[in-house]
Each structure stands twice: as structure tokens, then as C-alpha cells.
């Protein structure tokens, strides 16, 4: 973003982010090679879990990319990457069930998810304008613009913070449903848990990086007082 005397604060957070990326990819690749005994694909598991939860207005589609799986609440579409959609691996079933957890959150009006959706415009607006406003204020010595930039950036950070309980809850639902429905055995659930825990670490790392950036902006702003 820009250089400051507080750049060293970013090092631990960036190290965590790099480790999280490595962890999620290595764990996903490991359990993508292990087939689940049930023999069901990610798409089949997602469809069955949706029906079991009485969610009949969400479709399951295949999408391109790796680890590009997501639930689209606006179109009510659960999109699974090719490696998940057609795979019967432990990793695929864990990811598919996790995304189904988001659809279940949406259907039941899960409060943190509703809150996250409500602050999406603020987060998008803040992330695009925060740093330019802050830099203009810094270069022109206008503290009020720096403060405004910090406030906008805080909105983007809030989005990251609210994302954490949403993702943790989706994983909790996924593991519970996979085991109770018999899609994964008790020993296989452990593998799915490792995949979802590694994925959760990426969200924790992203939040840590955002919080450190916010702290950095605040400290630079205080230098101008």
C-alpha cells in the first residue's frame, strides 16, 4: 500500500497468510486422493444435504477453477469446482457440505450471515476508497482525510471479522451433517475436519492481515497529531 515506519508489524500476519495458503492447498490435495467409502460425489452429497434440510430452491452447479467453491445467495446457486463436483474424495465431500452449510444459513436467516450481507456495500466502498483517501490526506497533510480513510478501511475490516463466525458455523454444520447422514465414517470425518480447519485458517490469516493494516494506518495517523 505504502511504506511507513510500522511495516514490520505486517511480517507476522503475512507469514501466517503464506502458511495458511500452503496448509489449505497441501491438506486439500492430500485428502483429494482419499476416496470416501460412501462412493458419493460432492454434487450428490450437496444435493442430498439440501433436500434433508428442506431447501428445495437451491441448485447445484459445476464451476471452473480450484477451490473456487461458493454459495451465491442472490441466485440461490451452490457452485462446486470440478475437483469437488464430480469427486468422491473426503476433501470433496467436506467442501461440498461446507458450501451447503452456507445455503442452510441463508435459508434459516443465520444472523452473522445477514450482517455480513448487509455490510458488503460498505466493505466494497471502503476497500476501494480507504487507501487513496488516506494517502491524499498524508501527502497533503489533511488529517481529516486520513481519518476518513481509516474509517472506510475499518468497514472492510469489519467484513473480515464478521466472516469468521459465518465460516466456522458452516464447517460445524458440514461435519455434523456428513457424519449424521452417514456420508463419512467417524474416521473419515477427521480428514474432512482437517480440510475445513485448513480453510478456516485462511480466513483467520486474512482477518489478521486486515487488522494489522488498520493498526498501521492508525499509528501513521497519530504521527501527524
> Hey, which residues are catalytic here?
99
Residue where the block lists cell 490469516? 205
Q: What are the two backbone dihedrals, phi and then psi, of residue 62, each rounded to the nearest 5 degrees?
A: -90, 140
Beta bridge partners of 61: 79
Q: What are the two backbone dihedrals, phi and then psi, of residue 72, each rounded to the nearest 5 degrees?
A: -100, 100
Q: What are the two backbone dihedrals, phi and then psi, of residue 81, each rounded to the nearest 5 degrees?
A: -65, 160
Amino acid at each position: 500500500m505504502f511504506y511507513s515506519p510500522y511495516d514490520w508489524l505486517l511480517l507476522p500476519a503475512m507469514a501466517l497468510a503464506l502458511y495458511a495458503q500452503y496448509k489449505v492447498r497441501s491438506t486439500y490435495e492430500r485428502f483429494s486422493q482419499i476416496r470416501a467409502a460412501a462412493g458419493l460425489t460432492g454434487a450428490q452429497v450437496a444435493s442430498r444435504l439440501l433436500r434433508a434440510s428442506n431447501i428445495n430452491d437451491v441448485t447445484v452447479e459445476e464451476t471452473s477453477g480450484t477451490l473456487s467453491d461458493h454459495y451465491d445467495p442472490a441466485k440461490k446457486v451452490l457452485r462446486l469446482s470440478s475437483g469437488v463436483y464430480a469427486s468422491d474424495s473426503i476433501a470433496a465431500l467436506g467442501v461440498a457440505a461446507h458450501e451447503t452449510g452456507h445455503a442452510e444459513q441463508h435459508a434459516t436467516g443465520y444472523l452473522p450471515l445477514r450482517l455480513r450481507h448487509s455490510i458488503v456495500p460498505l466493505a466494497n466502498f471502503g476497500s476501494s476508497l480507504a487507501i487513496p483517501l488516506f494517502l491524499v490526506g498524508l501527502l497533503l497533510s489533511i488529517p481529516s482525510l486520513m481519518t476518513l480513510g481509516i474509517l472506510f478501511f475499518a468497514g472492510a475490516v469489519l467484513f473480515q471479522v464478521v466472516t469468521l463466525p459465518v465460516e466456522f458455523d458452516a464447517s460445524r454444520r458440514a461435519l455434523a451433517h456428513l457424519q449424521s447422514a452417514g456420508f463419512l465414517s467417524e474416521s473419515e470425518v477427521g480428514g474432512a475436519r482437517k480440510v475445513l480447519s485448513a480453510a478456516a485458517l485462511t480466513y483467520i490469516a486474512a482477518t489478521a492481515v486486515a487488522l494489522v493494516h488498520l493498526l498501521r494506518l492508525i499509528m501513521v495517523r497519530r504521527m501527524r497529531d
